[in-house]
A and B are shown apart, each in its own frame.
Chain A
Amino acid sequence: MTYLVRRLLEALLVFFGISLVIYAMTYVLPGDPVAALAGDRPLAPSVVRALREQHHLDDPLFVQYGHYLAGLFQGDLGTDFSGRPVADQMADRWPVTIKLALTAWVIEAVVGIGLGVLAALRRGTWTDRTVLAFTIGATSVPVFVLAYTAQMVLGVKFGLFPVAGTTEGWPAGYVLPALCVAAFGLASVSRLVRAEVIDNLRADYVRTAVAKGLTRRRVVGVHVLRNSLIPAVTFLAVDLGYLLGGTVIIEGVFNLPGIGQLLFQAVRGHAGPTVVGVSTALILIFLAASVLVDLLNSLLDPRIRHD
């Protein structure tokens, strides 16, 4: 339990740090914050006054930050230029992004771990080399290049998948984008798992397990996999946050009406407050995910718990 408390305190500290960085970046550092919020648009003096008022810009700095934090705790992610709260704009977009990220995550976990274990158990064979070539390929091609290529080849040319939009619903409309989102992480997972399994196969305790007369299936399944999956679980959980980042590009490219698309369009349209609001929400989710991962990890690896 002390571990849990310590981890939560750490997370709280990181949360304050992150919010401070974001706050400093958007409201304090670069010249006139209102101008920065406005981006390229010219603003009427009344709007400027309203914005200064709304963001408490005439108060002392730490009071401003306090207001910002208090808002954040109430789920206030700021408002866009037209006065709509960013959180409201996000509300009905969540299902799309969650479906996309989770689909990608499951693909990443299942295929990544599967390929990694397969490559490790067939080390040095053509299976291993094929998996290696595939993972290097998947790491080298940037996700938006991959997305366009996949759209062009699998969508337009062969008509295997719908090219864009969610009219097809889940899963048909989501498989191709999810594959693109997952590609990079999938490659990382499989390389990580491969290395871990190979390492663990040589471990002393595996030799003990063999000496006990356990079947190979049990030796690999209980002893090798359990220990090999600990780093993979860490990676996968942290990667859930990165997947949310990946959905920004993919939802933009595939025109899926999720949070990522909102951010994509906000960036393109120079809608500063929306960019900051959406990013902050995603970053906080990432933080929550990484706390969860550590707790999950402490369940898998007793050495952490009793540290």
Chain B
Amino acid sequence: MTDTLTAPADTSPDGAAPPVSSAGAGWRTLRRRPAFLLTGAGVLLLLLVAAAPGLFAGWFGHGDPTVCDLTHSARGPSAGHPFGYDVQGCDLYANVVHGARASLGVGFLATAASLAVALVLGCLAGMAGRIVDSVVARLTDVFLGFPFLLGAIVVLNTLPTRDIPTVAAVLALFGWPTMTRVVRASVRSVREADYVVMARSLGAGPWDIVRRHVLPNALTPALVLATITVGGVIVAEASLTFLGVGLQSPSISWGLQLAGAQNSFRTHPHLLVFPGLFLSFTVFVLITFGDTVRDALDPRGR
């Protein structure tokens, strides 16, 4: 028996709550947090813009990002065109609004793919014995050996056409290892937990254990990591596109817009400011959203 009061920092009576209930408790505290509601609303708004850019693009002018007039090239903001025109003479506001789809599309697709791979490989590595575990571990090591950006450059460089799914797939190729490690670690800790040992001694099969105990516990940390990852993936996509190995011209993307702005931004700063602002805002919303979720769900952070 230990004196529960010996830890002076632990002033909450539920500080030692088991990890299983902390997810539920975390969601409950989340719903009452203004930071979560605010950033959550931001994420919903971004998703809406990405899903239906037409709803927002036409607020000021014609709203069609592909209707361009070269005589307006790089003109500043004017009536009906609050953000001005890009180098091609297209309405910048309509383009910026339509750019959300590419960024969020790549961000969520790549993250979802990484998460799916991580859950499968992580559970496999955690549950299926030493050999599978070390194979997965070495594979993770290899892909973690690539600096994210450089690895993506090498692979994307060899692909002739690059649209949202392919870029997302390449980013997922270098994104799954971190998540797999997290899943594997939580699978292993659950596997050794007393209640799982007891379930096993009562005759539960491995599939029962994965479904009933392992997955629910491994999912929370993986989801938290995934939430935080989305913002980073979007930055990576924009950087790669900016470099010239990401999305290509028919796609409308903030990375492309910024790449197009780089030669003329000193004379026409609006070309840099608006896509840059939208991109940064999107990343900001996703990162703070991820942070609030993690703070609530990660017992270590509380």
User: Do any beta carbons of A and B sit within 8 angstroms of each other in the complex?
Assistant: yes
Q: Is the CB of A282 within 8 A of B158?
A: no
Nearest Cβ in chain A — how far from B10, in angstroms? 8
Q: How far is the CA of A275 from the CA of B9 in the complex (A)?
A: 53
Q: Is the CB of B145 within 8 A of A18?
A: yes
Q: A69-91, CB under 8 A of B: which get 1 and which 0?
A: 00000000000000000000000
A26: contacting residue among B143, B158, B265, CB under 8 A: B158
B159: contacting residue among A14, A30, A275, CB under 8 A: A30
Nearest Cβ in chain B — how far from A260, in angstroms? 10
Q: A255-283, CB under 8 A of B: which get 1 and which 0?
A: 00000000110011000100110011011
Which residues on the B side are within 8 Å of A267 (C-beta)? 153, 157, 243-245
Q: Is the CB of B149 within 8 A of A245?
A: yes
Q: Is the CB of B150 within 8 A of A149?
A: no
Among listed B125-133, B208-216, B281-289, interface-contacting one = B281-289
A141 close to chain B: CB less than 8 A: yes
* Known contacts A149-B272, A286-B147; A140 and B157 CB within 8 A of each other: no
Q: How far is the CA of A246 from the CA of B243 in the complex (A)?
A: 12
Q: How far is the CA of A267 from the CA of B154 in the complex (A)?
A: 10
Which residues on the A side are within 8 Å of B159 (C-beta)? 30
Q: How far is the CA of A242 from the CA of B52 in the complex (A)?
A: 36
Which residues on the A side are within 8 Å of B244 (C-beta)? 267-268
Q: Which of B142, B158, B245 has the most CB of A within 10 A?
A: B158
Q: Is the CB of A10 within 8 A of B141?
A: yes
A235 close to chain B: CB less than 8 A: no
Which residues on the B side are within 8 Å of A141 (C-beta)? 276, 280, 283
- Residue of A at shortest CB range from B272? A148
Q: How far is the CA of A279 from the CA of B152 in the complex (A)?
A: 10
Q: Is the CB of A283 within 8 A of B242?
A: no
* Known contacts A17-B145, A245-B147; A279 and B154 CB within 8 A of each other: yes
B146 close to chain A: CB less than 8 A: yes
Task: Give chain B interface residues in 254-272, CB to chain A under 8 Å.
Answer: 258, 261-262, 265-266, 269, 272
B239 close to chain A: CB less than 8 A: yes
Nearest Cβ in chain B — how far from A38, in angstroms? 11
Q: Is the CB of B148 within 8 A of A245?
A: yes
Nearest Cβ in chain B — how far from A43, in angstroms? 15
- Residue of A at shortest CB range from B265? A148
Q: How far is the CA of A4 from the CA of B287 in the complex (A)?
A: 37
Which residues on the A side are within 8 Å of B242 (C-beta)? 142, 144, 249
Q: B144-176, CB under 8 A of A: which get 1 and which 0?
A: 011111110111011110000000000000000
Which residues on the A side are within 8 Å of B266 (C-beta)? 152, 156
Which residues on the A side are within 8 Å of B238 (C-beta)? 142, 144
Q: How far is the CA of A80 from the CA of B51 in the complex (A)?
A: 43
B150: contacting residue among A13, A137, A268, A283, CB under 8 A: A283
Prevailing SS type, chain A contact patch? helix
Q: Is the CB of A152 within 8 A of B145?
A: no
A175 close to chain B: CB less than 8 A: no
Which residues on the A side are within 8 Å of B141 (C-beta)? 10, 13-14, 17
Which residues on the A side are within 8 Å of B231 (C-beta)? 139-140
Q: Is the CB of A290 within 8 A of B265?
A: no
- Residue of A at shortest CB range from B259? A144
Q: Is the CB of A263 within 8 A of B142?
A: no
Nearest Cβ in chain B — how far from A181, in angstroms? 12
B138 close to chain A: CB less than 8 A: yes
28 A-B pairs within 8 Å (CB atoms) are namely A10-B141, A17-B138, A25-B154, A25-B155, A29-B158, A36-B158, A136-B287, A141-B280, A142-B280, A143-B235, A145-B258, A145-B280, A148-B276, A152-B265, A199-B300, A245-B147, A245-B149, A249-B239, A263-B153, A267-B153, A267-B157, A268-B243, A272-B157, A272-B158, A275-B153, A279-B150, A282-B147, A283-B147
4 closest pairs, A vs B, by CB?
A: A17-B142, A140-B284, A245-B149, A145-B276
Chain A interface (Cβ < 8 Å from any Cβ of B): 10, 13-15, 17-18, 21-22, 25-26, 29-30, 36, 136-137, 139-145, 148-149, 152, 156, 195, 199, 202, 241-242, 244-246, 248-249, 252-253, 263-264, 267-268, 272, 275-276, 279-280, 282-283, 286-287, 290
Chain B interface (Cβ < 8 Å from any Cβ of A): 7, 9, 138-139, 141-143, 145-151, 153-155, 157-160, 231, 235, 238-239, 242-245, 258, 261-262, 265-266, 269, 272, 276, 279-281, 283-284, 287-288, 291, 300-301
Task: Give me 17 other A-B pairs in contact (C-beta within 8 A), A143-B235, A267-B157 excluded.
Answer: A13-B138, A17-B138, A25-B155, A25-B158, A26-B154, A30-B159, A140-B283, A142-B283, A144-B239, A242-B147, A244-B150, A272-B157, A280-B154, A282-B150, A283-B146, A286-B150, A287-B145
